[in-house]
Structure 1
């Protein structure tokens, strides 16, 4: 029998999706599963985006330009300028989701066996993209005790080698909800300039920042013109996860011209999705204010309810719509599977994402879970109640 590649065998499973078969089986057996495991918002997509596709009169669904339509990229540049990020249309490549943007970025800046430093826990698919690109993830640990703040710069410096090509952050963070401050971004800017590295920032949750804080982009730092790369997406901003439209943004012309070669290999981003995403740029600011107000209320309720559970420790998110909770157990993978297979309250159970898959360091996060607060408040409250009852039974 032909053999599978080493790369394929070492490709990590998604901690977010690997429990899906157990959830589907629970549903087949009549149980209701409350999904706390995935960042699929229940917020309605702006009607203006849906209507742009519904009412379009295209006679031929053609390829678009490899880097995305010029008109759309010009409007994206205007969006960034409204957010104090001054880039031009030629600094932007439209991609098939933020995932492809990150894949292009890694392919552009790093070769096989090169290294990327990432504060952990981090979005689990970073591990997957790195494996696919033959790149080594070098983790620097952030801790729940200080809300997953940026680790000391000295911790980064200890890890830099001749193979190091970049530092990658997510801001606000998935899975932690941590928001890096302007001062923390400036610390990172200094270190990447000192060692001539790239700083890649996944900024897909830019709009979702709470408690009167402001998002500070890496490209607001002029000194990062040649070192900064933004990965972005419409998925969460407009609750358009199925559109699969993202952006790679950099003022470094060589980065963009190289990334376009990767983009040419996949021809073009999807045409209808660009039409919807371009229309979404006309979404009024009131939409985001309403969404933020709702997420703040959900976050506050979730944290309040989790803090009532004996032995549970939780970090308070400042952005995005995730939090990490540390449970009084030893194996969150086993607990999450048990929830789906064996535990019910009024024939309901919950699905969570075990957090070990958001770490690169073996053994970390084993007693943690990621919760996505993308459901309405009554459902969230009921889910935490079920989680609390489950812990009593599981431990007891």
Structure 2
């Protein structure tokens, strides 16, 4: 029998989706499932984007330019300018989701066997992207006791080798919701300049910051002109996960030129989705004000309900819409599967994401879960209660 590739064998399964069959079986058994496992917002997509698709006057749905349409990239540049970040259309490559932007970045700046340092826990698919690119993830641990703040710079520096090509952060973070301060970005800036590395920042949750805190982009730092690469997306910002539109942004002309070659190899990003993405940029600020207010309410409710569970530790998020919680159990994946297979409250159960899949270091995060607070408050309250009641009877 022909063999699967080593790369395919090593490709990790998604901790966000791996329990889906158990959730489907629960539904088939007549249970209702609250889905806290995936960052699919229930917020309505801006009407202006939906209308743009409905009203598109298209006879032939043709390819766009490989780097994305010129009008869309120009409008993205205006969006950044509105956020006090000066970039031009030629410094942007539109991609099929932020995922492709990261794949293009890895392919453009790293060879097989090179290393990228990432604070963990981190977005689980970074493991998949690195495997697909033949790149090695070198994790530096952030701790729930520190609310997942940036680890000491000395910890980063101790991991740098001749194979190190970049540091990757997610800001605000998935899965932790941690928002890096300007001082933390400055520390990373000095480090990458000292060692001539790239600083990649996944900033797809830029709009979702709370408690009066401000997001600081790596593009805010002029000294990082040749070093900063931003990964961005419409998915969370406009609740358009299905559009699959993202972009890579860098002032480094060699990075953009190289990424464009990868873009040409896959021909073009989705034309119809670009129309929706371009229209979404006309979304009024009031939309984000309302969305942020909703997420703050949900976060506060979630934290309050989790704190009522004996023995839990909580990383309080300052951005995005995720929360990592440590449970008084040994194995969160077993617990998550048990909730779907064997437990319910009045015919209802819950699906969470075991957090071990958000770590690269073995044995880390085994008793943690990630909760995506993307449900209405009443549903969120019921979901946490199911976890609470389940813990009372669950045995490792």
Distance across 2 between alignment mates of 1:29 and 1:261? 49
Deviation at 1:131, TM superposition (A): 0.4
Rounded Cα–Cα distance in structure 2 between residues aligned with 1:173 and 1:318? 9
Is residue 2:372 matched to residue 1:372?
Answer: yes
Determine the C-alpha separation between the residues in 2 that align with 1:84 and 1:352: 37
Match of 2:49 in 1: 49
Corresponding residue number in structure 2 for 1:383: 383
Unmatched 5+ stretches in structure 2: none
- Residue 127 of structure 1 corresponds to which residue in structure 2? 127
Tell me what 1:96 maps to. 96
Residue 344 of structure 1 is matched in structure 2 by 344
| Local SS of the residue matching 1:158 | helix
> 1:157 — aligned with what?
157
1:79 matched residue in structure 2: 79
Q: Supply the distance in 1 between the matched residues of 2:56 and 2:278 (Cα, whole angstroms).
A: 13
Residues 75-107 of structure 1, C-alpha deviation per residue, up to 9 Å, x if partnerless? 000000111111000000000000000000000
Cα deviation, residue 10, structure 1: 0.6
So what's the TM-score if we normalise by structure 1?
1.00
Shift of 1:364: 0.3
The question of 1:138 aligning with 2:111 is answered no
CA distance in 2 between counterparts of 1:357 and 1:172 reads 19
Aligned to 1:70: 70
SS in structure 2 of the partner of residue 180 of structure 1? coil
What's 1:196 paired with? 196
Alignment correspondent of 2:238? 238
How far apart in 2 are the matches of 1:148 and 1:80? Answer: 27
Residue 24 in 1 paired to residue 19 in 2?
no
Query: 1:274 corresponds to which residue?
Result: 274
After superposition, the C-alpha distances for 1:207-262 in whole angstroms (9 at most, x for unaligned) are 00000000000010000000000000000000000000000000000000000001
Three-state SS of the structure 2 residue aligned to 1:200 is strand
Separation (CA, whole Å) in 1 of partners of 2:123 and 2:373: 16
Aligned to 1:230, what secondary structure does the other structure show? strand
Partner of 1:313: 313
RMSD (CA atoms) = 0.6
1:109, CA displacement in angstroms?
0.4
State the match for 1:14 in structure 2: 14
Deviation string 1:340-375 (CA, Å, 9 cap, x unpaired) is 100010010000000000000000000000000000
Residue 226 of structure 1 pairs with residue 207 of structure 2: no
Find the residue that maps to 2:370 and give its secondary structure: strand
Equivalent residue, structure 2, for 1:291: 291
Alignment of 1:354-373 (within 5 A): 354-373=354-373
In 2: Cα distance, 1:74 partner to 1:6 partner: 41
Summarize the alignment of residues 35-46 of structure 1 with structure 2, pairs less than 5 Å apart.
Answer: 35-46=35-46
- Tell me, what secondary structure is at the counterpart of 2:139? strand
3-state SS of the aligned residue for 1:336? helix
**Partners of 1:263 and 1:366 in 2: how far apart?**
38
1: distance between equivalents of 2:224 and 2:25? 49
Distance in 2, Cα, partners of 1:180 & 1:195: 21
Q: Secondary structure at the match of 2:165?
A: strand
SS of corresponding position for 2:27: helix
SS state of the match for residue 90, structure 2? helix
Residue 223 of structure 2: SS of its match in structure 1?
helix
The 3-state SS of whatever aligns with 2:394 is: helix
How far 1:395 moved relative to its partner? 3.5
Distance 1:127 1:277 in 2: 27
> Following the alignment from structure 2 to structure 1, what is the Cα–Cα distance between the partners of residues 286 and 42?
18
